[in-house]
């Protein structure tokens, strides 16, 4: 059974823990480097990316996160988590950092403000049937490198990507109870 941590300093922590647990993963919150060291994989949830990165630095978790991702730990970022896994940002807050790992340029709040949030069915490579996409102040991948596979698009923009053991979505698969994207992440661990 894989041990999957969920970055738990801010964001949709409970929802991801519930989704992972329902699929048989040993899921637990990660707030410290010692907890991160116990992970086979990590979920970076939706939330507020600037706050998340500041808290990671404050709790001495930022560099260990970067190191684990560089060393090949599997990670799944949703919404703000997609921003955190991007190597490059557009419309970033001044001085905003990322964990990095996916060769992509992500535009923060690309689909607009909170009032512009929307839902829509998405075709996702590797997942049978349409997946519910819940977009809340969502980013998109403006540009991806040659090693990045685009798994889904919405309104002409990449909203789900994969590079090696890293998976990222611009939407919130944890809020709809579907579980198939969490399964895709867990299945990737099993084949790694």
Contacts of 32 (CB under 8 A, 6+ apart): 59, 60, 61
Q: Within 71-179, where are the H helices?
A: 80-85
- Looking at 15, 16, 174, 182, which residue is catalytic? 174
Active-site option among 63, 79, 142, 182: 79
Look at the block and give the residue holding tokens 């993963």: 25
DSSP per-residue letters across 32-55: SHHHHTT-SEEEE-SS-HHHHHHH
Closest C-alpha among 30, 46, 50, 49 to residue 38:
30
Q: Is 79 a catalytic residue?
A: yes
Task: Check if 172 is active-site.
Answer: yes
With beta carbons less than 8 A apart as the criterion, state whether 154 and 170 touch: yes
* Beta-carbon contacts of residue 76 (< 8 Å; ≥ 6 apart): 41, 42, 43, 44, 166, 167, 168, 181, 182, 185
Distance of CA 162 to the CA centre of its chain: 10
Q: Could you list the active site residues?
A: 79, 172, 174
């Amino acid at each position: 059974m894989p041990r999957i941590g969920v970055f738990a300093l801010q964001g949709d922590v409970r929802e991801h823990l519930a989704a992972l647990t329902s699929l048989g993963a040993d899921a637990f919150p990660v707030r410290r480097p010692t907890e991160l060291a116990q992970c086979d994989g990590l979920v970076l949830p939706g939330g507020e990316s600037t706050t998340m990165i500041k808290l990671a630095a404050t709790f001495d978790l930022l560099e260990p996160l970067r190191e684990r991702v560089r060393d090949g730990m599997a990670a799944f970022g949703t919404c703000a988590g997609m921003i955190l896994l991007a190597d490059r940002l557009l419309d970033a807050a001044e001085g905003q950092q990322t964990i990095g790992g996916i060769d992509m340029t992500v535009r923060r709040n690309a689909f607009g403000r909170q009032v512009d949030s929307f839902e829509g069915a998405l075709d996702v490579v590797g997942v049978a049937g349409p997946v519910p996409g819940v977009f809340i102040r969502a980013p998109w991948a403006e540009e991806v490198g040659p090693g990045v596979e685009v798994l889904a698009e919405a309104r002409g923009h990449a909203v789900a990507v994969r590079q090696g053991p890293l998976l990222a979505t611009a939407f919130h698969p944890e809020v709809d109870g579907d579980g198939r994207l969490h399964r895709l992440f867990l299945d990737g661990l099993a084949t790694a």
